[in-house]
């Protein structure tokens, strides 16, 4: 009777997209150096499999970039909050019962009035104008006034928030420039899982049918490395908290995949001028009006 050696199941349908794509890439790295004929495969089989893996990895990267777009909005909200707070604190200082704060507050308010519509602007314009505002606030006279009214920390917070936003915004621009229509991740995963299972069966058969000890050892070692990679990925999945009480992983339902748009377009800048903010609406809170854009037009002091 010929010796047999089996490859473990991958649990492919259970893994999140990133972990699934990583396992597929690892398996390809282990398998493709071996001559396909020794594994009862054609070179085209390996190439087709690799094409599917690359496609899955691209879908995973696009999903991460979409998450960055949502984070971009959060970071814009953060810098708007800080800027609004700086404006409010300066207004209060200009009218403060503490006499020493009034003149510095009034002078700083003149600087801020120059940028009175800054939060209304689109992403790129707001970023540029915050940089210009910070440059004005870095002047010695402004630094002295900020120190007097105790608002140097808010200025530094605004600088940090604007830098973080700008860095992420540049990444988002790369995403918008490269966006293209991709198939659903579910269909690509299923295709790759089917291909992987077929390749595994060929490898197991090649081990059983090997005509020399050297080939049998080569294929046997490959099976051991494949199993080690699969087990490592399962351990990563298990330690992520997705386990049943008895320690065995539970088979979750496959998430529904969103439909791909017929003509995907870059995520629009929600602050673009073509969608103007309504100047006559009052904000619900000190930060944003009902439509998400504050009316911060400052009165002339």
pLDDT in tens, 10-37: 887 888 888 999 999 999 999 999 999 9
Residues 87 and 133 in one domain: yes
Looking at the domain assignment, is residue 268 inside a domain? no
Contacts of 283 (CB under 8 A, 6+ apart): 289, 290, 294, 295
Looking at the domain assignment, is residue 10 inside a domain? no
Looking at the domain assignment, is residue 133 inside a domain? yes
Whether residue 195 contacts residue 44, with contact meaning beta carbons closer than 8 Å, is answered with no
Domain finish residue from 132, 150, 178:
178
pLDDT in tens, 235-268: 998 987 554 433 444 444 444 444 444 444 445 5
Looking at the domain assignment, is residue 263 inside a domain? no
pLDDT in tens, 102-132: 999 999 999 998 887 888 888 889 999 999 9
How confident is the model at residue 1, as a pLDDT? Answer: 73
How confident is the model at residue 168, as a pLDDT? Answer: 85
Q: Assign 3-state DSSP to the chain and report helix, strand, coil percentages, each to 5.
A: 65, 0, 35
Whether residue 121 contacts residue 295, with contact meaning beta carbons closer than 8 Å, is answered with no
pLDDT confidence tier of residue 274, bands split at 50, 70 and 90: very low
Comparing C-alpha atoms, which of 281, 297, 287, 267 is closest to residue 122? 267
Looking at the domain assignment, is residue 152 inside a domain? yes
Residues 57 and 88 in one domain: no
Hey, what long-range contacts does 130-136 have (CB within 8 A, 24 or more apart)? Answer: 130/79, 130/83, 130/158, 130/162, 131/162, 134/158, 134/159, 134/162, 136/111
Residues 139 and 157 in one domain: yes
Residues 153 and 100 in one domain: yes
Give the range of the structural domain holding residue 106, as residue numbers without chain letter.
73-178
Mean of the per-residue pLDDT values of the chain: 81
Residues 133 and 171 in one domain: yes
Residue 124: is it exposed, middle or buried by C-beta count within 10 angstroms (0-12/13-18/19+)? middle
Residues 39 and 132 in one domain: no
Comparing C-alpha atoms, which of 166, 80, 170, 90 is closest to residue 121? 80
Residues 213 and 171 in one domain: no
Residues 233 and 153 in one domain: no
Q: How far apart are CA 279 and CA 294, in angstroms?
A: 8
Residues 165 and 227 in one domain: no
Looking at the domain assignment, is residue 84 inside a domain? yes
How confident is the model at residue 110, as a pLDDT? Answer: 94
Cβ-based neighbour number of residue 153 at 10 Å = 9
How confident is the model at residue 137, as a pLDDT? Answer: 96
pLDDT confidence tier of residue 180, bands split at 50, 70 and 90: low
Q: How far apart are CA 89 and CA 150, in angstroms?
A: 9
- 3-class secondary structure per residue, 91-156: HHHHCCCCHHHHHHHHHHHHHHHCCCCHHHCCHHHHHHHHHHHHHHHCCHHHHHHHHHHCCHHHHH
Residues 230 and 212 in one domain: yes
| Total number of domains constituting the chain | 2
Residues 135 and 49 in one domain: no
Residues 54 and 142 in one domain: no
The SS3 of residue 67 is: helix
Looking at the domain assignment, is residue 208 inside a domain? yes
- Helices 213-238 and 17-31 cross at an angle (nearest 10°) of 170
φ, ψ of residue 32 in degrees (nearest 5): -65, -20
Looking at the domain assignment, is residue 301 inside a domain? no
């Amino acid at each position: 009777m010929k010796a047999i050696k089996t490859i473990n199941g991958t649990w492919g349908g259970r893994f999140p997209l990133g972990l699934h794509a990583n396992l597929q890439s690892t398996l390809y790295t282990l398998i493709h150096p071996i001559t396909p004929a020794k594994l009862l495969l054609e070179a085209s089989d390996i190439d087709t499999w690799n094409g599917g893996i690359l496609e899955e990895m691209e879908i995973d990267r696009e999903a991460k970039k979409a998450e960055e777009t949502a984070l971009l909005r959060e970071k814009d909200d953060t810098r708007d909050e800080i800027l609004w707070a700086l404006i409010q604190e300066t207004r209060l200082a200009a009218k403060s019962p503490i006499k020493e704060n009034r003149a510095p507050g009034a002078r700083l308010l003149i600087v801020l009035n120059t940028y009175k519509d800054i939060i209304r602007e689109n992403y790129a314009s707001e970023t540029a104008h915050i940089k210009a505002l910070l440059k004005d606030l870095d002047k010695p006279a402004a630094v002295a006034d900020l120190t007097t009214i105790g608002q140097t920390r808010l200025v530094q917070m605004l600088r940090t928030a604007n830098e973080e936003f700008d860095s992420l915004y540049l990444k988002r621009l790369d995403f918008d420039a490269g966006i293209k229509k991709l198939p659903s991740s579910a269909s690509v995963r299923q295709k790759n899982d089917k291909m992987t299972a077929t390749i595994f069966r060929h490898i197991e058969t090649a081990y059983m049918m090997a005509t020399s000890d050297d080939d049998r050892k080569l294929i046997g070692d490959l099976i051991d490395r494949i199993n080690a990679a699969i087990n490592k990925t399962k351990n990563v999945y298990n330690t992520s908290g997705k386990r049943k009480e008895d320690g065995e992983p539970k088979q979750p339902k496959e998430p529904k995949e969103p439909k791909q748009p017929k003509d995907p377009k870059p995520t629009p800048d929600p602050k673009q001028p073509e969608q103007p903010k309504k100047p006559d609406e009052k904000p619900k809170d000190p930060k944003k009006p009902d439509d998400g854009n504050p009316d911060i037009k400052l009165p002339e002091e």
